Amino acid sequence: MSILSYRSFLTPLTSFDPIFIMKRILPMAALFILLLNIVIAQTKPLLQLKYEENYTPTYEEVIEMYSLLDRNYENATLIKKGQTDSGKPLHLFIINNSSEFSPEKIKSKGKSVLLINNGIHPGEPAGIDASLWYADDLLRNKDGMAEILKNTVIIIIPVYSIGGHLNRSAYNRSGQTTPFETGFRGNAKNLDLNRDFTKCDSENAKSFSKIFAEWDPDMFLDTHTTNGSDHQYSVTLIPPSPDLFPPIMEKFIRESFIPTIYSEMGKGEYDLIPYVSFIFRDPKLGINMTQEGPRYSSGYASMFHSYGMMTESHIYKDYADRVKSCYQFIKALAKFSAENSNEIINSRKKGIKESMVAIKYPIEFKLDTTIYQMIEFKGYETDENQISPVSGLKRFGYDHSKPYSNRIRYFDTWEPISFEMVPEFYILPQSYQNVIERMDLVGVDYTKLPNDTTIEVTVNYIDEFSSPPRPYNGHYFHNEVSTHTEVQEVKYYKGDLLIPVRQEKIKYLIEMLEPKARDSFFRWNFFDNILDQREYFSSYGFEENALKYLNEHPDFKAEFLKKRESDQEFANSHRAQLSYIYNNTEWAEKTLRRYPVGKIY
C-alpha cells in the first residue's frame, strides 16, 4: 500500500457511503488477511515430516521439501553442485540471513561456515530428517533461531549417497526395525562413500571435493547411525580428533569446543556422550576416542584444518528419538558456530600458519592408554549368558533391566609414533593424471616445469608392502608399507608438476603424497605400476654382457668371486650368479619400486 492510500484510509468518514466502504475498507481487509496469513505461515512449519510414524522421506520427497523452502524464503536456495554415480545431481541447500549465496562474499563478511552432510549411508537417515526439520525451523525463525545467521551460514547436502537412498528396502539395515524402509549402504557404484573421500572413485566424492574446496567450511558435520554398542543414549559424537590438528586448534577443541558442546547438549532432552569405541568388551571398563583417517569424512576435513565430526545416532532407540537427538545436536553445533565464529575462524588461520612452518609431520599414531579422563556413562549391564530366542544358545548381550550410571575411563589422546620430514617441494610426473585430477579438485597450488631438466631429489623406495586377499572398497589397499630413501638425480620433463609444500593444503599434500601416510595415494594403488619389473634377462642371452661387465669392472668382479667362494649355494646356481650381476649393476632398473614423487628439502 502506498503512503497516499494509507493516509486516505485514515481520513474520517463524514457520512455513511457504501461505495466508499467497498472501495476502501474491503481491500484493506483483504490485505490484512493476507498479511495475517504471512505471519501465520512464518510461525507454522512448511514441511510435514513423518519420523514419529517411523517414516523417512524418499529422495524425491527430500528434494521437493528443500525446493519448497527455497520457493518460500528469499534467504535460502537449493542449487545443483555436480554429478553423482546415480546420474542425478548432488544438491546443496544454503541458508543465509540475506539473499547473498556467494561463498566469497559471505566469508568476506567474517561469517563462519557450517556444512552438514546427510545420507552418506542411506540406511542411517536420522540426519536427513533432522536437517529438514532444522532448516524449516531456522528459516521461520522459531524461538529467534535465525539470530545465528548473523555470524554463520548453514549449508546442507540433503542426500549424499543418492544411489543408495534410491535403493530403498525394509531389509537394508538388519540391526534396526525403524524406520520401516531405508536406503542401501553402497552407492550407485556399490561404493561405501565414507571410505572414498581421498581416493575419489565416485562422482559423488569428486562433487563433494569441489563443494568443500569452494566453501572451505569451518565446521563440518556428517550424520550417521551406529549399532556398535547398547546404552541409554540416543546420540553419540565422534569429535574432531585433537591430535590431528596443530597446537592452537588442538587447544581450541579440548578447551572450548568439546566441553561447550557437551554442556549445551546437557541442557536439552538428550544427553551426549563420545562414540562408544571399545577397548574392552564391557564399556564400563573404559572407551576411547576414535581417530578417523582421511578416507573418512571427519578425517578428510582435518586435512584442510576444518573442524570435522560425526554424530552417531543409536540404532536401538526409537527412530523419533534418533531424529530429535540429531536435531538437538545440529541446533547446538550451529549455536556454537555462531557464538564462537571469530575464534573458530582465527584458530583455523593460525593453525594453517603453524602447519606451514612445521619441520616434521606425524603420519602414524597409537592410542595412549596412560592418559584418560573420567566421564559419566549410562549403560546396561553386559550378560555373557543371555539365551538367544533364535538359536536357543548362549550369546553376549545387554540386560535392559539393569541400567547403571557409572564414571568410566575415556582415553582421548593419540600419540604420534612416526613422522616424515616436511620437504619444500614435491615433484610429480605429469603422467599421473589420476592424481593430478584429485589435487585439482581440492585446489592444490603448483607450477609446471618449463623445460626438460635433471634435478637432484630425495626418492622413496618401497621395500615391503602387504595387501588383503580381497578388495576393500574397490582397491587392494596396502596395509603395511616400509620404505628407504635415496638421493638421486632424476630426469623430469616439461609439464611435470613442481608443488610447493608450504601452502594452505600442506596437510593434504603430506597425507596423500607420502607413501606411508595412512590413506596415501600409494596405499590406494595409484602408483602400483612401479611395483612391476619391466626389464628382465635370460640366462643364455645375458651371458655375454655379464662376462663383458665383469672384465671391465675388476673391483666388482672381485666382490662377485668372493661371494661365490663363500656361498656354496650361490656357487652352484648359474641363474643366481647372473641375477647377482644383473641386480647389483647398472643393468638393474632404478625405477623398480622407486616411488615417482620426488622431494626437495
346: in domain: yes
Overall average pLDDT of the 457-467 stretch: 97
Regarding beta strands 598-600 and 425-428, do their DSSP bridges make them parallel or antiparallel, or are they unpaired? antiparallel
Prior bond of 179 cis (ω within 30°): yes
Please list the residues that pair with 362 across neighbouring strands. 419
The pLDDT of residue 29:
53
Query: Is 163 a residue whose pLDDT tops 70?
Result: yes
More confident residue, 20 or 108: 108
Per-residue pLDDT tens digits for 271-294: 999 999 988 888 999 999 999 999
Query: Is 73 a residue whose pLDDT tops 50?
Result: yes
Per-residue pLDDT tens digits for 236-264: 999 999 999 999 999 999 999 999 999 99
Query: Is 98 a residue whose pLDDT tops 70?
Result: yes
Average per-residue pLDDT for the chain: 93
Q: What is the dihedral sign for C-alpha 201, 202, 207, 213? A: negative
The pLDDT of residue 4:
30
Q: Enter the C-alpha cell of residue 546.
A: 655379464
Distance between CA atoms of 62 and 41, rounded to whole angstroms? 20
68 and 11 within one domain: no
Alpha-helical regions (H) of 73-183: 103-108, 126-139, 162-166
**Closest CA relative to residue 239, chosen from 297, 317, 303:** 297
- Using DSSP's 3-state secondary structure scheme, residue 459 falls into strand
The pLDDT of residue 280:
87
66 and 26 within one domain: no
How far the first Cα of the chain sits from its last, in Å, is 71
Q: Enter the C-alpha cell of residue 420.
A: 616424515
Query: Is 405 a residue whose pLDDT tops 70?
Result: yes
323, 357, 391 - which closes a domain: 357
Query: Is 500 a residue whose pLDDT tops 70?
Result: yes
376: in domain: no
Q: Where are the beta strands (DSSP E) in 480-570?
A: 481-492, 497-500
Interacting residues of 517 by C-beta distance below 8 A, sequence separation 6+: 363, 420, 510, 511, 523
The pLDDT of residue 478:
98
110 and 12 within one domain: no
Read off the pLDDT band of 3 (50, 70, 90). very low
Read off the pLDDT band of 178 (50, 70, 90). confident
Per-residue pLDDT tens digits for 292-302: 999 999 999 99
Distance between CA atoms of 531 and 146, rounded to whole angstroms? 56
Q: Enter the C-alpha cell of residue 285.
A: 571398563
Overall average pLDDT of the 445-474 stretch: 97
The pLDDT of residue 5:
30
Q: Report which secondary-structure segment, H or E, holds 361.
A: strand 360-367
Q: Which residue segment(s) compose the domain that 158 sits in?
A: 51-357
58: in domain: yes
Overall average pLDDT of the 47-62 stretch: 97
Query: Is 34 a residue whose pLDDT tops 60?
Result: no
Per-residue pLDDT tens digits for 180-216: 999 999 999 999 999 999 999 999 999 999 999 999 9
Overall average pLDDT of the 344-369 stretch: 97
The pLDDT of residue 571:
96
- Using the CB atoms, write b or e for 561-582: b if 16+ within 10 Å: eeebeeeeeeeeeeeebbebbb
Query: Is 45 a residue whose pLDDT tops 70?
Result: yes
Read off the pLDDT band of 43 (50, 70, 90). confident
Read off the pLDDT band of 10 (50, 70, 90). very low
539 and 502 within one domain: yes
468 and 333 within one domain: no
- Say what percent of the chain tops pLDDT 90: 88
Per-residue pLDDT tens digits for 536-559: 899 899 999 999 999 999 999 999
**What's the DSSP call for residue 166?**
H
70 and 8 within one domain: no
Distance between CA atoms of 271 and 286, rounded to whole angstroms? 18
122 and 269 within one domain: yes
Cell numbers 606451514 correspond to 356
196 and 161 within one domain: yes
Residue 227's domain is classified under what CATH number? 3.40.630.10
**Closest CA relative to residue 499, chosen from 591, 429, 431:** 429
Cell numbers 529422495 correspond to 59
The pLDDT of residue 228:
83
Residue 357 burial (C-beta neighbours within 10 Å; 0-12, 13-18, 19+):
exposed
CA 578, 579, 583 angle in degrees (round to 5)?
Answer: 125
Distance between CA atoms of 413 and 426, rounded to whole angstroms? 31
Read off the pLDDT band of 53 (50, 70, 90). very high
122: in domain: yes
Distance between CA atoms of 187 and 410, rounded to whole angstroms? 34
Read off the pLDDT band of 36 (50, 70, 90). very low
- The whole model's pTM is what? 0.90
472 and 585 within one domain: yes
For the chain, give me the number of helices (H) and strands (E)?
A: 19, 20
117: in domain: yes
Alpha-helical regions (H) of 189-296: 203-215, 247-252, 258-266
533 and 466 within one domain: yes
308, 326, 357 - which closes a domain: 357
- Using the CB atoms, write b or e for 484-510: b if 16+ within 10 Å: eeeeeebebeeebbbbbbebbbbbbbb
Inter-CA distances, 211 with 115, 218, 441, Å: 10, 13, 9
Query: Is 320 a residue whose pLDDT tops 50?
Result: yes
The pLDDT of residue 282:
86
62 and 38 within one domain: no
Residue 198 burial (C-beta neighbours within 10 Å; 0-12, 13-18, 19+):
buried
- Using DSSP's 3-state secondary structure scheme, residue 137 falls into helix
The total number of structural domains that make up the chain:
3
The pLDDT of residue 210:
98
372: in domain: no
309, 332, 357 - which closes a domain: 357
Query: Is 14 a residue whose pLDDT tops 70?
Result: no
297: in domain: yes
589 and 467 within one domain: yes
413: in domain: no
